[in-house]
Amino acid sequence: MILPLLEPALFVKRYKRFLVDVEMADGSILTVHCPNTGSMRGCLSPKSPVMLSRSDSPTRKYPHTLEMIQVDGNWVGINTSRTNHLVREAIENGIIHEFGKVGDIKAEVKVSGKSRLDFLLQRVDNQLYVEVKNCTLVENGTAMFPDAVTERGTKHLRELIDLKGQGFDAAVFFCVQRMDGQEFAPAAHIDPLYAATLAEAAAAGVMVVAYQATVGPEEIKITHALPVRL
């Protein structure tokens, strides 16, 4: 994914979940939109370099969007609105080998009265439901999800287990948007229920797949699989 021209700044603080203050090159403080519902644990050190995009929409109260933040010299992609586009691009380019040959791709597929999953992939002889999660947390070389308790994430795993029981194929895909993780594992110390449900899903035949993306101010691209440790 080629990114629009981004503007550098320094992180100051996050508040009200979707707002971040940054320090611009001229020393002024600017409030920008933060498109990430997680805690962004480990990514919020003051004075960390960040990159911003800008919208020309006249209806935007905060025209700038926080796209990435630098942690220990590594860019971390935190704009979750880009994650599904990254994953779809990787599927279409044949990067994600676990999914096999994919034909039609449907997005935001309704699977129950109150729930949607990110993708339905039409393969040669079956359909594959995929739920995508953006991963920005790395601790001791291990990429982890979630970075905060997620009832919604656990509900999605239950949906995948149910679909597998109905005879469909199902997968949860973790998109690790930073380059300093050598493996993936659920963050059981943050959300033990999610970690237990992920193990249950894997035992039921749901694919658990993690891929790493190279992240930089010019481009973000999913490149290779990471080992998964449940």
Contacts of residue 59, defined as CB under 8 A and 6 or more positions apart, other chains included, come to none
In angstroms, the Cα distances linking 149 to 146, 153, 188, 195 are 7, 9, 10, 10
Asked whether residue 1 is domain-assigned, the answer is no
If asked whether residues 212 and 111 sit together in one domain, one would say: yes
Average confidence (pLDDT) per 10 residues, the chain, 230 residues: 96 94 97 95 96 94 97 96 96 93 92 86 90 97 97 95 94 97 98 98 98 98 97
Of 77, 93, 114, which one is at a domain's C-terminal end? 77
Sheet holding 102-112, edge to edge: 102-112, 115-123, 127-135, 169-176, 207-215, 220-225
Half-sphere exposure of 151 (CA within 13 A, CB side): 0
If asked whether residues 171 and 61 sit together in one domain, one would say: no
Asked whether residue 230 is domain-assigned, the answer is no
Read off the CATH number of the domain in which 105 is found: 3.40.1350.60
Q: Is 93 left (phi over 0), alpha (psi -120 to 50) or beta?
A: alpha
Half-sphere exposure of 9 (CA within 13 A, CB side): 26
Range of the domain at 28: 7-77
- In the numeric block, which tokens belong to residue 180? 């300093």
pLDDT value of position 1: 95
Asked whether residue 183 is domain-assigned, the answer is yes
Of 77, 102, 133, which one is at a domain's C-terminal end? 77
If asked whether residues 145 and 63 sit together in one domain, one would say: no
If asked whether residues 107 and 164 sit together in one domain, one would say: yes
Q: Residue 56 carries which side chain, given as an amino acid letter?
A: D
If asked whether residues 115 and 211 sit together in one domain, one would say: yes
If asked whether residues 42 and 68 sit together in one domain, one would say: yes
If asked whether residues 195 and 218 sit together in one domain, one would say: yes
If asked whether residues 51 and 73 sit together in one domain, one would say: yes
Distance between CA atoms of 40 and 43, rounded to whole angstroms? 5
If asked whether residues 26 and 98 sit together in one domain, one would say: no
If asked whether residues 116 and 143 sit together in one domain, one would say: yes
If asked whether residues 148 and 221 sit together in one domain, one would say: yes
pLDDT value of position 125: 82
Distance between CA atoms of 146 and 195, rounded to whole angstroms? 9
Q: Where are the alpha helices (DSSP H) in the chain?
A: 83-92, 151-165, 192-203
pLDDT value of position 151: 95
